[in-house]
Structure 1
Amino acid sequence: MSKNKVIVGFLGASALFFGSLIGYEGFSSKPYLDSGKVPTIGIGSTVYEDKTKVKMTDKPITKERAIEISKAHISKDEVSFKKSLDGVKLSQAEYDVYLDFNYNFGQANWNQSSMRRRLLQGQHRQACDALLKWKYVAKKDCSVRSNNCWGVWQRQLDRHQKCVGAQ
């Protein structure tokens, strides 16, 4: 993937982003509790397009419906995400990594993160390294395999590797 950096406003979620998202989140037609004990459905969605929260009593959905929900969620998230990085230049790989973080941890966490602060200061490598600070879910350290959230940590390591590779 190109390491050329462009203003964030000109970027969008790539096909690789969606492939990675599905690879990590998986697909579940029925609601389940994620590692943070939040009702989730489809491809890691905790809310529907109308912002209604997923409930454990919701009816199963198809994979096609799950993709619709994810794409709607991401397109809404991207508006706030891009505004949070006004004027910052990123490569497509960096954009996808941080958008994936945003999808996983939420806009509020992104806004207060040292990753965002570092990017606003032009410190791209330090922003990549700050990804590794985000290893906790429900006060559990996910870098400890026995805490039953190892996948969260593995995803962070993968994000970090992709981010560093884009430098």
Structure 2
Amino acid sequence: METHIKQRLAVAMLSLSAMGFSGIALHESYTEKATIPIPGDRPTVGFGSTFKEDGSPVKMTDTTTPQRAIRMSLAHIGKDELQLKRCVTGPLNQAEYDILVDFSYWRGSGGACRSEVVKSINRGDYVASCEAYLNLDSRRATGKDCKDSLNRCRGVWLRAQDRYQRCMEAQ
């Protein structure tokens, strides 16, 4: 049996991979016109962007093109990565980092930095960091339990399960 060691590096040495960005874009799907993805949520446009490149919030009247949507997402991710590089002190491999950036894209970098995911990474407990993707923050949206399909936010729970699974595979 061949063992494959997944090298962990200081977060400062990592950046979101093309595969990681593709995963975010595919999960978020593209919308030309601003929409509210989950009742009670903020308006999003493009690939789930809640903010424009200049930092102003998306309004329901906003529209975009695929090219601009990519720029908006990359601007959002760039800001998230700067914040993550300040708060994550534990080393990660590329797959773990891509998953964390995906989580931050959904949760916001401040929320990600305060999360049990980051706390577990910083103490070197990588299995616990994977398990933390399934915690209540990842299960709830606008006060609803997204594990319950009747609450119209099931995608939030399914995405948390996907993050957990990919994280465990990255160990």
TM-score interval (norm. to shorter): over 0.9
Give the Cα separation in 1 of the matches to 2:156 and 2:6.
26
Pairwise CA distance, 1:76: 1.4
Aligned to 1:55: 59
Query: Residue 8 of structure 1 contacts residue 82 of structure 1 at CA under 8 Å; is this kept in 2?
Result: yes
Residue 99, structure 1, aligned to residue 101, structure 2: yes
Task: Output the aligned Cα RMSD.
Answer: 1.3
Query: Residue 132 of structure 1 contacts residue 157 of structure 1 at CA under 8 Å; is this kept in 2?
Result: yes
Pairwise CA distance, 1:37: 2.2
Aligned to 1:80: 83
Pairwise CA distance, 1:107: 1.6
Give every structure 1 segment of 4 or more consecutive aligned residues whose post-TM-superposition deviation is greater than 6 Å: none
Aligned to 1:22: 25
Pairwise CA distance, 1:3: 1.9
Structure 1 unaligned residues grouped into runs of 5+: none
Residue 42, structure 1, aligned to residue 46, structure 2: yes
What TM-score, normalized by structure 2, do the two folds share? 0.92
Give the Cα separation in 1 of the matches to 2:61 and 2:22.
28
Task: Please point out which of 46, 59, 73 is paired with 1:70.
Answer: 73
What's the secondary structure of 2:45's corresponding residue? strand
**Of the two structures, which has the highest relative contact order with CA contacts closer than 8 Å and spacing of 6 or more?**
1
Counterpart amino acid of 2:113? Answer: N
Query: Residue 83 of structure 2 contacts residue 110 of structure 2 at CA under 8 Å; is this kept in 1?
Result: no
Pairwise CA distance, 1:26: 0.2
Query: Residue 2 of structure 1 contacts residue 91 of structure 1 at CA under 8 Å; is this kept in 2?
Result: no
Residues 2, 29 of structure 1: CA spacing in aligned structure 2 closer, same or farther, 3 A cutoff? farther
For residues 70-104 of structure 1, the C-alpha deviation after alignment (integer angstroms, 9 at most, x for no partner) is 01111111001111113x21010100111110010
Count of aligned pairs between the two proteins: 165
Counterpart amino acid of 1:63? Answer: P
Task: Please point out which of 139, 142, 153 is paired with 2:143.
Answer: 139
Moved more, 110-119 or 131-140: 110-119
Give the Cα separation in 2 of the matches to 1:105 and 1:37.
12
Counterpart amino acid of 2:59? Answer: K
Residue 152, structure 1, aligned to residue 145, structure 2: no
Query: Residue 135 of structure 1 contacts residue 152 of structure 1 at CA under 8 Å; is this kept in 2?
Result: yes
Aligned to 1:124: 126
Give the Cα separation in 2 of the matches to 1:154 and 1:37.
17
Pairwise CA distance, 1:2: 6.8
What TM-score, normalized by structure 1, do the two folds share? 0.95
What's the secondary structure of 1:90's corresponding residue? coil
